[in-house]
Chains A and B, each alone.
Chain A
Amino acid sequence: MHFVVCIKQVPDSAQIRVHPVTNTIMRQGVPTIINPYDLFSLETALRLRDEMGGEVTVLTMGPPSAEDALRKALTYGADRAVLLTDRFFAGSDTLATSYALAQAIRKIGDAWGAPDIVFAGKQTIDGDTAQVGPGIARRLELNQLTYISRVTKVDAEARTVELERRAEGGTQVLSSSLPCLVTMLEGSAEIRRGSMAGALRAARAEITTWSAADAGITDLLKCGLRGSPTVVKRVFAPAPRAEKAKQIEVKAKSRETADDLIEALFEAKPAMQADLEQLAAGL
C-alpha cells in the first residue's frame, strides 16, 4: 500500500503579528509548525502502514524552508518526503495549488507506485479554506472522502474502504473504493510522539526536492498567480469599534454589581427582560 500525505507548513497562528502601518504579516521570528489538521491525516496514514505494510510519502509545496515540516513528518515515521518548490508557484490560490500538488502526486506515482490513498488536512489554520483536498481529488479523479472521523476498514485485495464521515446531525457510514482522497477530522487519532531514533533518521534523510519542471509541470499558466482565478485586491485590518465598553462599577458585594449589570442590560435593550423570561421558561 502506498499512502501519500499532503502537508503544509504554517506560521504558529498564536504568534502572528500584523505590522500596524503596512498591514502585512510579520513573519520574522514566528515559529512554523505542520498545519495541526494535517497531523491527524498523517497519523492515520502511519497507522494504516503499520498495520498493512507499505510506505508513507509526505508531500508539501512551499518555500525551501518548508523542508523543516517534512523532516518533522519523517521524525513521526514517514518513509519518504518530497518538497515541491519553485518561484512559479508563488501566489498560488487553492485552484493553482491543487493543480501543482496533483501533478506532483502523479509524479510520485510514477517514481514509487501509484498511491492507494492520498491524505490531506481538513483545512489549514492560516487559510482555513478546506478547498485543496477536494481540488486534488477532482484533478486526480479520486473518490473524495472529507471530514472522516474513522477509517474502519481498508481491503487491499478488494480495493475497498469503509469509513465514518461527520455530517450535519450525525455520522455517515460509507463504503468506497481505492484510490481515494481522505481528509481526517481533528481529534480522530491520538498523534504519536516522534522517537529519538526517528529524529536521528529524519535529520540524515534526503528530502526529494522538485522544481515545477522536475514534477512534470509544463503548463506554467496553471501555476502561481497566473493560474489563480482569485485575486486578492485589498488587505486591511479590521476597523476597531468607536465606542469602548461601559464599565459597571464593581461594588464590595458581587450581588450588587450583578444587579447593576442586569439593570444596565435591560436599560440598553428593553426587550431583553421579556426575551430572557421566555427563554428561561423554555418557551
Chain B
Amino acid sequence: MSDAPKTAAAPSRAAMKKELPEHFKAYKHVWVMVELERGHVHPVSWELMGEARKLADKLGVDVGAVVIGAPDAGAREAAAESFAYGADVVYLVENPILAEYRNESYTRTLTELVNTYKPEILLLGATNLGRDLAGSVATTLLTGLTADCTELAVDADKSLAATRPTFGGSLLCTIYTLNFRPQMATVRPRVMRMPERHEGRIGRVVEHAVALEEESIVTKVLKFLPDRSSQTSNLAYADVVVAGGLGLQNGENLQLVRALANVLGGEWGCSRPCVQKGWAPAERQIGQTGKTIRPKLYIAAGISGAIQHRVGVEGADLIVAINTDRNAPILDIAHFAVATDAIRFLPALTEAFRARISPHANDRLAG
C-alpha cells in the first residue's frame, strides 16, 4: 500500500537517504524471474529481459535469468531463449517438486538464489504467478517491492527508479528502495516492448540445487484444468484491438465491435464500465485494472477515455477514437478521431475494411 502519495512526508524522507549498509554492497546484477509454466514461458519474461538489459548496461553489470522447473520440462529451452533475449547468466534450478507453481516451493527456491548470488535488482511479471511470488519473496527478504511499474530507470547514484501509476492512473509516482537489496519490481504484460531476439546468443549457466522435499510442502496440486480455448482471449497480445464503451448504449451493440475485430483478424475488448454493467466478461476489460494492450492498431468506439483506460492503451502504435464528443479525453492520446455516432459508423467501417482487405486475403488463400 505504497499507494497513498506521501507528498507531505516524501521530501523529508528522501532527504534522509543513508549510505547503503555494508552487507548490501556485494549485491550486483539485474535479474529477471522467467515464468515457465507447463513448458511455456510467459512473454512478459522476455519483455522484462529487454528492460533488464538496458538497466544492466547502464550499471555495467550482467543480466541474470532465473529459470525454475522440473527436469526435462522446458527449463533448458527457456535458458537458451533467455540468452537470445539478452541474459548473460542463467540460474537454473531443476527439481521435480518445481513442476507446478506453488508459492512455498518457489518462494524457498527464489529466496535461496537471491541470498546466494545477491542481485541488486529483481524483476518479475505482474501476473498471478509473479505477484504471488514477488509479495512473499520481498517479505521474506524484508526488502522493497514496487508493483506494476510502467517505467524503470537507473538514476545518477545507480538506484532503481521505478515509476508506477497510482490512483487508477491519475498520478504517477517514482519509488525507490534505497537502503535494501534487492530492489524488486513487477511489470504487467505488454507494458514494456518485446526486445529483439538474437538467435545463437549464448551465456553462462549456473546450475543450483535446492534441498526440497515433497513432504515439507503443504500445498499440493491435485489437478490442472486447462482453459477451453474459447474462454481465453489473446487480447493483451493482439495486433489489432477494437473496443467499445458506454457510447454503444447497450451490451448488444458490442456485437458491432466484435464484427469489426473479426474482419480485421483482431481481438475485441471494452472499457471498465461495460464490465461493471455486465455487458462483457472481466477478461475483456482494457485499462489499468484490466488488460494492457500494445497493438499496431487500436480502435476505441464510444469510449470517452478515462485515465484508467488510457494508461492501458497508450502503447498502441495507432489509435483511432470514434466519439461524438470532440473533447473526450481519449482524443488526448488518439492519432485519428471521427466525431460521429459509433453505433452508426462501426458497420460502415467494417464494410469498408472488408472491401479493402478481404480481396487480397482471398487471393493469398487461393494461392
Contact = CB atoms under 8 A, between A and B. Distances in A.
Interface in A122-167: 123-135, 137-139, 143-147, 162, 166-167
Interface string A258-283: 11011011001100110111111111
Given A230-B144, A272-B296, A135 B288 contact: no
B317 A90 contact: no
B348 A174 contact: no
Interface stretch (A18-26, A42-50, A103-111, A197-205): A18-26
Contacts of B263: 280
A134 B13 CA distance: 26
Interface string B317-341: 1111100001000011111111110
B282 A187 contact: yes
A229 B288 contact: no
Contact of B1 (A94, A146, A233, A278): A94
A146 to B, nearest CB: 5
B1 A174 contact: no
B218 interface: yes
Majority SS at the chain B contact face: mixed
Interface in A83-134: 90-95, 97-98, 123-134
B303 to A, nearest CB: 13
What size tier do the contact residues of chain B reach?
35 or more
Interface in B229-247: 232, 239-240
Interface of A: 8, 11, 13, 16-18, 22-25, 90-95, 97-98, 123-135, 137-139, 143-147, 162, 166-177, 186-187, 225, 228-238, 240-241, 244-248, 250, 253-255, 257-259, 261-262, 264-265, 268-269, 272-273, 275-283
B1 A225 contact: no
Contact of B175 (A90, A95, A144, A232): A232
A97 to B, nearest CB: 5
Of B40, B42, B340, B357, the most chain A CB neighbours within 10 A belong to B357
Contacts of B72: none
Max chain B C-beta neighbours (<10 A), residue from A17, A170, A233, A265: A233
B172 A238 contact: yes
